[in-house]
Amino acid sequence: MSSYLTSVLIFTGINLIAVLGMFLLMGLTGLLSFGQVGFMAIGAYAAALGYTKFGLPFGIGLLIGIVISLLVGLVIGTVTLKLKNDYFALATYGFSEVIKNVLIYFSSFTGGSMGVFGIPASVTLPLVAVIFLVGLVITRNFKVTKLGRNSLAIRNDELAAQVMGINVFKHKLSVFLLSAVFGSVAGSLLAFATYYIEPNLFDWNRSISLIVIVFFGGINSLTGAVTAGLALTLLPEVLHFGAEWRMVIYTFIIIVTMIFRPTGLFGRWEISGRQMMDWFRNRGQRSAARGRG
């Protein structure tokens, strides 16, 4: 496998990890958040500065990023999750911008707008693949358990969910924190997949991209989120679109999807392990039948 293809797959896997967090937050629970990129920045800078300033290995930096993200997420979530709909979205956007400006302001430690150099590109494709698969299992199990059903109930009608005995605020905060962990891990991996990070790498366009992926794949479909993440991340690389066209393409995708598929391409549909086994079994039976014929 060429180094270019390996690099593309690594960055695709990292993006998919961030998508899983957005799927939990927006797809299942109905919380439109622009703050995922803020947690990615926390994870990236925690890992990068841990290595460049203190000589900490990647694993320790990743864990530090998770802890910081959980603490920040607890504070931000406690305040913002009391807001409704658009106000929550605006508050999380403000949070991501605050994180970005803090990184610029404390330039003596973070490197400011110049960023952080000297990060070893030590993240490998197998490592990203394993972390993504673990995240996928966690997300899938979350969706099919009572936690996922509670999220769907909250997304459909918060008042009805509360009447049913669901602690709406506590559940939303738990999902918000889990999503923050996914974002932080993706950010840490991103830092060590490149040689350099800087604040503008974590602008609001990255949050928009994650939202578009979840919306395009299907609001309630993990299969759709992963498939859309693969397609929309790989497509610009395959077709060599310039960065200036990416947001135009995403905007076009949103408009077309809203017109023809308001629930996204996959809607509520999921691929299950049983379906895949049945498909392979039926295919094998058809091949055997053709061979006998």
Report the candidate in 216, 41, 189, 217 with the shortest Cα–Cα distance to residue 129: 189
Cα 45 from Cα 85, distance rounded (Å): 30
Structure confidence at residue 12 (pLDDT): 93
Give the number of other Cβ atoms within 10 Å of residue 140's Cβ: 17
Segments of the chain with pLDDT less than 50: 276, 279
Structure confidence at residue 281 (pLDDT): 58
Cα 183 from Cα 68, distance rounded (Å): 12
Structure confidence at residue 272 (pLDDT): 59
CA atoms within 13 A on the CB side of 246: 19
Report the candidate in 45, 61, 59 with the shortest Cα–Cα distance to residue 109: 45
Q: Is 187 exposed, middle or buried (0-12, 13-18, 19+ CB in 10 A)?
A: buried
**Helices marked H in the chain:** 3-22, 36-54, 58-80, 85-105, 107-110, 125-144, 146-156, 158-163, 168-193, 204-217, 222-239, 243-260, 273-292
- Reduced to 3 states (helix: H, G, I; strand: E, B; else coil), residue 219 is coil
Paired residues of 262 in beta bridges: none
Cα 177 from Cα 71, distance rounded (Å): 9
Q: Is 275 exposed, middle or buried (0-12, 13-18, 19+ CB in 10 A)?
A: exposed
Structure confidence at residue 181 (pLDDT): 97
Q: Which amino acid is at 271?
A: I
Structure confidence at residue 69 (pLDDT): 97
Q: Report all structural domains of the chain as residue ranges with CATH numbers, in order of start.
A: 3-292 (1.10.3470)
